[in-house]
Each structure stands twice: as structure tokens, then as C-alpha cells.
């Protein structure tokens, strides 16, 4: 089977062709930070969560949370734990992925996403869905996100790009009058009958939604929260979904038929679905451009993992090295949890994982 183009394409080039605003942003962030690492911040308290988000934030592009396992979570929409995570995400340059694994009928998952005490949609850029209930769970979440965006206080940010004039853009109906001389003006092409062609510049206008609560617009935000990660704009307001297509746990029931149904649902909802939580790359059609994130990543001790496969944790979790996950199986982002959180020096270990995962990616696209 031929290698799918996305496996050899750089993150920078995939950012140029991505259609989902959040996918485009994430690829740009990955290229800018030279990181394809996600921290699975499975901790017990809000204090720990914010601590690790701050300390490990410079090394990651995604922070994965489980808000419902965190004690002391402050649900205040403006000053609570979710808002503080969003501030750290702006400062350090990462996206927040709430690993909620929605898995119910459409009406229920909509309410779980946009309402309740947590209001996940307000602070999490990305969520995921267990598609056991069927495709309706995906479309319901997409519809809920679209309605939320319509009601959200936002600004429309417009950017205008003017292309350099070229000799290939000319009009046949211009006047014969010569313009006033201008310094360093490009030469003018003439048709066979001597008529002058006019030089036309190409103007591109792009628009994107940006939160009215952004530091860019909201002057009431404290000075510390105004810091944005240098080199990239704030994340777009649009939300994204990952479909849980495959799992790393031993004996799971996600068979090939289930995985194929996940791929079909993603193709039918490209404006909302960014990609998959999976164990391998699932892009097979020419226009598939989904992103893949894989959990169960661990760097081995010197005497283990020579073939890229590591021992499990005794609770069903199976581990693989970054080289196996990124280089061989074709994932884009490696998800690491306890390998960093339980290290003697989590910051140093985060850099070790970032370096190893990035190396596996660069060798894959070489």
C-alpha cells in the first residue's frame, strides 16, 4: 500500500492546506515550538493541574485534562480553574484537550458539552467522543459547538494580504494613456497590437473569530494574563473534536468495523472533526488530512524497549516508544502522562520526551 502523503508532509506544509481553523493553528504551533508532545495531566487536585500546566507548558502543544477527577476544581467561568488553564495556554502556547469521551445519545452529549457546572466548551479547545452510540453523537456535538459560537461574544479579525504584482496579470480594456512615471515600477507587457496591459495585484482577505474576552480586546484582564506566546496569534475560537477510534488498553472492544465507522463520521463532519485518538494513522483517501494523537507513550530504560514496545502498567495500559508511535505507526502527537508526572524532574523529562518525539517525526518526513 502506498504511503499516504500526510505521513511525509511537514507540519508547516500541512498547516498551509488544513481547512479546520484549529488544526491549522495546531500545526503552526507544532512547527513553531518544534514539539509534537501532549501532556496527559491526570492529577488529583486543581493545584497540581495548574502547576504542571505552567511548568510543562513550554514543552507541549496540547494539555489533556480530566476535569471530573480533579478535586478543588473552581467552576467560576471567569476566574476558575478552566479560565486559569486558558490563560496558561495563551502564555505558553498550547491547546487544552478535555478527555471527556462523550458517549451518550445526541441530546445528552450536547448538554454535557455546553452546560452544567463545568461548561467544558468555554475553556477546552478540543474534546473527544466515544462513538459507540453512533454518528449522531458526533453531529450533535458539532451542532452544539456551532450554536455556541454564534452566541459567543467575539470580534471578527480581518487580515489583508496584497500579493506582489506579476507580469502574468493583465487586462485588455485599459486606457492608452500612460501613467505618471514611478520609480522601480515593474516593466509593462504589451499585446501584439501594441496595447498596454495593466498590472494587477492579488489581494487576499481572511477573517477569523476571536474572543472578545481575549487580551487583545479586553483591557480589564490582569497584566499577567495579557501575555501571549510569541510568534503566533491567539488560538481561533472555533472548537474541535477528536474521535476515539482505537485504544491502547489491552483487550478493548474497538474492532475494525468500529474504527471504520469513526473514519466515515470524521469525513462527514470535517468542519468540526480534527482527527482521531488512535494507534495508527487512519488517513487513506487522497483528501484525508486528519490529525492523529496516540496515548501510551513512554521512553524506556536502557535495558528495555529495544523494539519500541514496553511493558504495560499492570492495569491494561500498553506502552510504546515515541519512535514506534510517531515514526512507524504514523501518529502526529504522542500523549505522555505518568512518564513525565512521576519523574524525579518532570521538566527535564518533558524535554526528553519532546526531543524524542520530534526526532521521530523529522526522521519520518525526511
* CA torsion, ordered 238, 65, 327, 13, to nearest 10 deg: 20
Q: How far apart are CA 143 and CA 121, in angstroms?
A: 12
- pLDDT for 192: 53
Q: How confident is the model at residue 182, as a pLDDT?
A: 45
Domain ranges for the chain, please list them: 5-152+215-365
Of 99-113, 116-130, 153-167, 302-316, least confident by mean pLDDT is 302-316
Among 272, 243, 273, 235, smallest CA distance to 148 is for 272
Mean pLDDT, the chain, integer: 85
For the question of residue 342 being annotated catalytic, the response is no
pTM: 0.80
Ordered DSSP codes for 135-171: THHHHHHHHHHHHHHHHS-EEEEEEEEEPPP-TT---
Nearest to 257 by CA among 242, 271, 240, 245: 245
Within 8 A by CB and 6+ apart from 207, the residues are 156, 157, 158, 159
Q: How many CA atoms lie within 13 A of 182 on its CB side?
A: 7
Phi, psi angle pair for 356, to nearest 5°: -65, -40
Q: ∠ at Cα 321 (319, 324), nearest 5°?
A: 105
Tell me if residue 54 is catalytic. no
Q: What is the crossing angle of helices 81-92 and 46-56, to 10°? A: 10
Find out whether 53 and 98 touch, Cβ atoms under 8 Å.
no
In terms of C-beta density within 10 A (0-12 exposed, 13-18 middle, 19 or more buried), how is residue 221 classed?
Answer: middle
CA atoms within 13 Å, Cβ hemisphere of 94: 29
Residue 227: predicted pLDDT? 81
- Can you tell me the mean pLDDT for 200-214? 56
Contacts of 323 (CB under 8 A, 6+ apart): 308, 356, 360
List 104, 225, 233, 288, catalytic entry: 104
pLDDT tens-place string over residues 73-113: 999 999 999 999 999 999 999 999 999 999 999 999 999 99
DSSP 100: E
Active-site residue (options: 31, 99, 122, 332): 99
Cβ pair 269, 19 in contact under 8 A: no
Tell me the C-alpha distance between 339 and 352, whole Å: 10
Provide the annotated binding site. Answer: 42, 64, 248, 317, 337-338
Do 189 and 167 contact (CB within 8 A), yes or no? yes
Distance CA 84, CA 225 (A): 9
Percentage above 90 pLDDT, the chain: 71
Q: Which of 55, 101, 270, 359 is catalytic?
A: 101
pLDDT in tens, 126-161: 999 999 999 999 999 999 999 999 988 766 666 565
Q: Which residue has the higher pLDDT, 214 or 350?
A: 350
Q: Which fold has domain 5-152+215-365?
A: TIM Barrel (3.20.20)
Residue 101 a catalytic site member: yes
Q: Which residues are annotated as a binding site for substrate?
A: 42, 64, 248, 317, 337-338
Q: Do residues 360 and 323 make contact, with C-beta atoms less than 8 angstroms apart?
A: yes
Q: Give dist(CA 270, CA 283) in Å, integer.
A: 13
Pick the more confident residue, 218 or 114. Answer: 114
Q: Give residue 210's pLDDT band: very low, low, confident or very high (50, 70, 90).
A: low
Amino acid at each position: 500500500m502506498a504511503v499516504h502523503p500526510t505521513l511525509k508532509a511537514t507540519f508547516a506544509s500541512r498547516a498551509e492546506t488544513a481547512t479546520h481553523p484549529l488544526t491549522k493553528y495546531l500545526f503552526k504551533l507544532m512547527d513553531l515550538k518544534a514539539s509534537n508532545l501532549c501532556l496527559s495531566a491526570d492529577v488529583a487536585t486543581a493545584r497540581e493541574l495548574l502547576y504542571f500546566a505552567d511548568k510543562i507548558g513550554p514543552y507541549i502543544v496540547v494539555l489533556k485534562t480530566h476535569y471530573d477527577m480533579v478535586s478543588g476544581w473552581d467552576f467560576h467561568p471567569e476566574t476558575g480553574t478552566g479560565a486559569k488553564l486558558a490563560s496558561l495556554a495563551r502564555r505558553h502556547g498550547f491547546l487544552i484537550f478535555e478527555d471527556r469521551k462523550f458517549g451518550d445519545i445526541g441530546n445528552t452529549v450536547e448538554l454535557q458539552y455546553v452546560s452544567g457546572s463545568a461548561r467544558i466548551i468555554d475553556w477546552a479547545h478540543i474534546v473527544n467522543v466515544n462513538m459507540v452510540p453512533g454518528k449522531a453523537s458526533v453531529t450533535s456535538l458539532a451542532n452544539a459547538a456551532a450554536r455556541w459560537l454564534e452566541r459567543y461574544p467575539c470580534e471578527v479579525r480581518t487580515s489583508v494580504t496584497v500579493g506582489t504584482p506579476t507580469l502574468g496579470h493583465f487586462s485588455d480594456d485599459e486606457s492608452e494613456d500612460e501613467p505618471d512615471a514611478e520609480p522601480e515600477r515593474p516593466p509593462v507587457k504589451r499585446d501584439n497590437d501594441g496595447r498596454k496591459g495593466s498590472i494587477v495585484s492579488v489581494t487576499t482577505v481572511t477573517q477569523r473569530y476571536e474572543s472578545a474576552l481575549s487580551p487583545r480586546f479586553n483591557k480589564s484582564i490582569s497584566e499577567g494574563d495579557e501575555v501571549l506566546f510569541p510568534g503566533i496569534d491567539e488560538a481561533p475560537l472555533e472548537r474541535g473534536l477528536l474521535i476515539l477510534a482505537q485504544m491502547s488498553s489491552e483487550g478493548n472492544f474497538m474492532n475494525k468495523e468500529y474504527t471504520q465507522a469513526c473514519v466515515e463520521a470524521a469525513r462527514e463532519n470535517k468542519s468540526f472533526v480534527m482527527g482521531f485518538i488512535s494507534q495508527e494513522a487512519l488517513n487513506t483517501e487522497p483528501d484525508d488530512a486528519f490529525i492523529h494523537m496516540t496515548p501510551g507513550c513512554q521512553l524506556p530504560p536502557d535495558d528495555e524497549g529495544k523494539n519500541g514496545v514496553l511493558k504495560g502498567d499492570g492495569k491494561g495500559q500498553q506502552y510504546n516508544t515515541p519512535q514506534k508511535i510517531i515514526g512507524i505507526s504514523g501518529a502526529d502527537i504522542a500523549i505522555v502522562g505518568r512518564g513525565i508526572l512521576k519523574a524525579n524532574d518532570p521538566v527535564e523529562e518533558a524535554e526528553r520526551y519532546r526531543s524524542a518525539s520530534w526526532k521521530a517525526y523529522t526522521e519520518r518526513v525526511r
